[in-house]
């Protein structure tokens, strides 16, 4: 049974914007009070099970995942069409800390689930196209123009977090998030 959170931090952003990096930094800063949740984890685990694939390799940022990404997107969309909150519920089922970090929101239904059930801070991780290319991003038709990449383009997050390589700026922004989380813990 999941612990009710005092705050859910929901990250979204384009591929190679640095969502995982931001999540790792927040994990270090919030330590024992933070549960990191991935909406893609239950999706990838179930996809791997149904297709005889290595779930662990689908969860990392390897070329293995890229081989299956397009079909995995299609498969996940079919599941979401039947139940938009399915993967959200699975990801939160065993959260056991007072602050949750959802590091991979992709759709308005993901945002709606968290904002309607919990106190939430929505954060869009932003990086320029040039920076994303430096991190290995290459435009892929059927991926970069799919709902999993574009559905939140116009979503109005509460915070825009710049992740273009300025570590001082990034740290200041992450400290603001941590200050909010710690203030919620004190209530």
- Binding positions for substrate: 163
* Residue listed under structure tokens 């995995």: 72
CA atoms within 13 A on the CB side of 160: 10
Binding site feature residues: 14-20, 135, 163, 173
Helix axes of 63-82 and 40-51: crossing angle, nearest 10 degrees: 100
CA atoms within 13 A on the CB side of 63: 2
Q: Residue 131 is encoded by which pair of tokens?
A: 């920076």
Q: Point out which residues pair with 161 in neighbouring strands.
A: 125
Whole-angstrom Cα distance, residue 56 to residue 98? 26
Q: Are 135 and 16 in contact (CB under 8 A)?
A: yes
Binding site feature residues for ATP: 14-20, 135, 173
Whole-angstrom Cα distance, residue 183 to residue 7? 10
């Amino acid at each position: 049974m999941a612990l009710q959170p005092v705050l859910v931090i929901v990250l979204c952003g384009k591929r190679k914007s640095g969502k995982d990096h931001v999540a790792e930094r927040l994990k270090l800063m919030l330590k024992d009070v933070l549960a990191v949740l991935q909406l893609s984890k239950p999706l990838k685990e179930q996809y791997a099970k149904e297709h005889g694939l290595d779930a662990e390799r689908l969860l990392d940022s390897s070329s293995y995942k890229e081989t299956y990404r397009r079909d995995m997107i299609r498969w996940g969309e079919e599941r979401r069409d039947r139940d938009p909150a399915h993967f959200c519920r699975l990801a939160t089922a065993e959260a056991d800390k007072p602050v949750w970090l959802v590091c991979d929101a992709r759709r308005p239904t993901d945002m709606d689930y968290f904002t309607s059930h919990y106190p939430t801070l929505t954060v869009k991780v932003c990086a320029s196209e040039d920076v994303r290319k430096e991190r290995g991003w290459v435009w892929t038709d059927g991926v970069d123009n799919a709902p999993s990449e574009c559905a939140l383009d116009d979503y109005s997050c509460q915070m825009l977090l710049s992740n273009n390589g300025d570590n001082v700026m990034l740290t200041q922004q992450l400290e603001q998030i941590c200050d909010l989380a710690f203030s919620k813990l004190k209530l």
